[in-house]
Each structure stands twice: as C-alpha cells, then as structure tokens.
Amino acid sequence: MTEQPDKLKQRFGIGLLCSGVLLGALQLAAPWVQAAESEPTQTLKQAKTYTVTSAPIEPLHLDAPTLPDLSGYTAEAVEAKIERSQQGQVVVRRMLQQDALKDFIGGDERLREWVKRQQGMPNAIFVEGGYVTLQDLAKQLPDNQFSQVKPGVYLARLPIVVAQNATLHVDKNVEELRLSQERGAFLVNDGKLFITDTRLTAWREADNGPATFRKPDEFRPFLVSWGGSELYISDSVVTSLGYNTSKSYGVSITQYTPNMHKRLQREEPTGWLLNSEFVDLWYGFYCYEAADVVIKGNTYHDNIVYGIDPHDRSHGLIIAENTVHGTKKKHGIIISREVDDSWIINNKSYDNKLSGIVIDRNSINNLIAYNEVTQNHADGITLYESSHNLLWGNKVLNNARHGIRVRNSVDIRLYENVSAANALTGVYGHIKDLSATDRNIALDPFDTKISMIVVGGTLAANGSGPLSIDSPLSVELYRVKLIAPTKSTGISFSGILGEKQEEILDLMVRRNLAVLIDPVERQTELQD
C-alpha cells in the first residue's frame, strides 16, 4: 500500500506489537444484525445449537491460484491488431433506420432530443468499408459537422458510427477528440475502434471546456461498442462521458438489446482497455453480455456512480492492476448479475463512496485475489447472493464498515486475506430477506443460506471483532490469526456460539487444529 493513515498505523501496527494477543473478540452473531433481519425469502430455519469439532486439514489445502498471463496485453499488441490495408470511406446519413442508432432515437422523445440539437432531422457520420482516421474525417466533412479546431484537436458535432467491417483509429497524431455536448455527438462502434495515445473528451462548447457532470439526466456524449465489435483503448485519457440513460453510461461494451440481438445475431462484444485514465464518467466502465474483456493498468477516479461495472452475463473478464478511487455515488469495482469465470486481481480500490469491490447477483466462479481495498466508506469487499467464489491474499484495511461482507452466499472460500482496522467486523457473514426491496426475485433468485471456509490470513484490530456469522450452514476455520483485539474484554464470543467458546479456543488456538462449526440439526431439517 502506498499510504496508510495515522489511525490505521495506531490501531493495527501498535496493536500487533503491544498486545501479543492471539485471539480477539470473535462475534458470531452480531446483535444489531439479528434485530434487523426479517423472515428470509426462502426460509432457512435458524439452528438452535451448534457443534464444534475438529475438521480434517487435507481437504482445506489449496495451492495458490494460477493467475492469467498478462504479458500480451500491451500497446504494441493493440497496434498489431489494426488492419490498414483497405481504405475506408466517410458518409453522412440520417440517424433514422440505422440499427446501430435505434437505441438512441427510439420513440418521439429521444428523437426530439436530436432534432433539437441538430435543428433538423438528425444525421450521423458513418465510417465504412475499411480503415479511417480523424484526419480523413476532417478532410471530407464540413466544419459544422467535424473540424480541426487547432492543430491535433478535433471537434465532432455529429454522432460518429463505425460500421461493421470498418476501423476508426484515433491515434497519437490526435491531441484530443472532442464530442460536442450541445450538438449531441457520441461514438458508436459496430466494427473496430482504436483509441491510442490520445484524449477523448465530452466537450461543452459554451464553456470551451469539458462537459463536467452537473445532473444525472443531462445529456453528455458517450461511447458504446455493440455486439460483434472490438474496442481498444490504450495509453489515453477519457473524460466527462455519459449520463443516466441506458447504454449511454460512459464507456460501454454491450450486446444489442434482446430484440435486436435476436434479429442481428451478432457475437459477444469484446475489447481491451489498457494503461489509460477514466475521469468524471457516469460509469467509468460498463459491459453487458460481453466476453473476454481485459481492463488492465488503468486509473479510474472521480467517476459518478461506479468505477468499473461489468454486468449481465459477461464472462471471462480480466480486471487487473487498476487503481479505482473517488467514486462519488456507489462502488469502486462491481460485477453484477451472472458475471462468471473472471479475475479481479492486483487492483487498488480506495476512498469510494460505498464498497471497494462488490460481487453481486449470482456472479460465480470468480477469483478475487491480491487486491488492496482500503479506506472505502462502506465495506471493503462485499459478496451479495454470489456463491462459489474464492478470495485469496487480499488486503482489506481501514474501511468504514466491514472488511469482508458475505450475504446469502455459500461455498465462499477466504484464503490468506488480511482484514484489519475496519470499523466493524473483519469478516461478516449473514442472511437477509430481500422480498421487501426492489430486488426482482424471478430475475435474480437466491437462497438465504451462508457457508464459508476461512483459511490463513489475519483478522486484526477490527472495531466489532474479527468474525461474525449469522445462522450459517457451516463454517470452517484453520490457521487464521485473530489478533490485536480492540475490546478490553479480549476473547469474547457472543450469540449462538457463546456456550462453545472454550471448545473453539481449545481446537483453534491451543491445538492448532481446523475447526468445523456446524448445526446440530441435519441440513435438510434447516431448509424448507
């Protein structure tokens, strides 16, 4: 970590040196949680009695996870993907009846928006048939549509569409591409779009400056890359894109909407975003039904709702070596709704409005490893209704609520993590009834069950204790350092495990054995 606040140093560093205590306040049923929970949607009967036994050690062994090879994701590799052999063409067409634009002009209201901005039936610039640069656009289009306002600086005053089988390259010879907010410019990629060694900025002509965020529903230019397309951004700066309208969030890689996809049958979109900076976007990144997207080495800061937000049924993603901070409304990094088989590794996520990293809505088989998640204003790492995930070697420090929070999720494996100096609990697991929320249970089903394995790592100096689990199906603990308690009472179990305190201490601390905490009732009896 590059910076640690004085509070963290005092609570964690001094606590470790001075206390020498091997086990702190282990809370396995937080009273404030119990009071807040109502009857679960799919009822899990709360166990009355738990047993504490030693568990076999060998099944708990896992080798360190194999990480994907990131060496091939470079600016040079992006450059090698550019096909320049065939020169493309530039044409201006009406926005109506264009598949790539239907989402943005559907209905009278959205069409009216572009009629007003263009003061007539709206047009768009189309790149077709091959390779095109901004210099080509400037040569072929009138200044009121696209112009070079000063050397290397270009202003688009119409939407730009990269058609299938075409390539648009915003290259190092471009100092900045500006998209006019007043005239309703935006970028749509239906082919291949390369943005390398340059700047992309939503531009407010009235201010002669970036279209900085003012309110959620105010149009701001955006970039969307549709089904079948490829988007590559490397070594660039992207600022002030996006607003609160579907597919217009900022930088998006997304399959076509269901009806369009059924007709067009385009493949899953993909792309690489490398070593770039994304600032003041509604969503720093968004994807939907995308595959094999690589987000590596970027900085996301001061974005509005989310920093990085892969969504519905995206898979095979690599989110690696990014720095995400200062997200204003919600989380730094979130994957949500069946985002599976992906890697979230070696990122730094700090000072975000809510959690640093969130795994949400049935996102499974993901590796969350070696991340530094610090000083977020809610939890560090949060798992909501997302089973079968592995957290390995993360540092989760000094967050305003829980370090690692797990809700309505089973088979959560926590290996070699450090969760320290968080305001509440180091690791907090609970069930929750979501029927009274806006959750669409049919779309996002879940079970009110929780189970986890905690192996290795350290839980230290957390304000409410190292570990709290509400009504688990099972918990296994092995080789976990529970040190530097913040409470004067020291070792103290509460709730359902209070009576088992001595047994847990004997196995876990004195005998260094794995501990299995299990309900006396058979699992089938705990489920309807």
Catalytic residues: 311
Q: Are 506 and 498 in contact (CB under 8 A)?
A: no
Burial (Cβ within 10 Å: 0-12, 13-18, ≥19) of residue 156:
buried
Helix extents (H) in 457-511? 501-505
SS3 499: helix
Quick one: tokens of 520?
């006396």
Contacts 24+ apart (CB under 8 A), 499-507: 500/50, 500/51, 500/52, 503/52, 504/26, 504/52, 505/23, 507/52, 507/53, 507/54
CA 467 to CA 375: how far, in whole Å? Answer: 19
In which element (H, E) is residue 126 found? strand 123-128
Place of tokens 């990629």: 189
State the pairing for strand pair 306-310/283-288.
parallel
In which element (H, E) is residue 118 found? helix 107-118
User: CA 147 → CA 1, 178, 222, 318, distances in Å?
Assistant: 45, 10, 19, 37
CA 397 to CA 419: how far, in whole Å? Answer: 6
Radius of gyration of the chain (CA): 26
Q: Are 270 and 294 in contact (CB under 8 A)?
A: no
Closest CA to 455 of 412, 511, 506: 412
CA 176 to CA 178: how far, in whole Å? Answer: 6
Q: Are 265 and 290 in contact (CB under 8 A)?
A: no
- Paired strand residues for 273: 233, 295
Q: What share of the chain is helix, strand, coil (3-state, %, to 5)?
A: 15, 35, 50
Q: Are 304 and 282 in contact (CB under 8 A)?
A: yes
First to last CA, the chain: 46
CB burial readout 307-324, b (16+ within 10 A) else e: bbbbbbbbbbbbbbbbbb
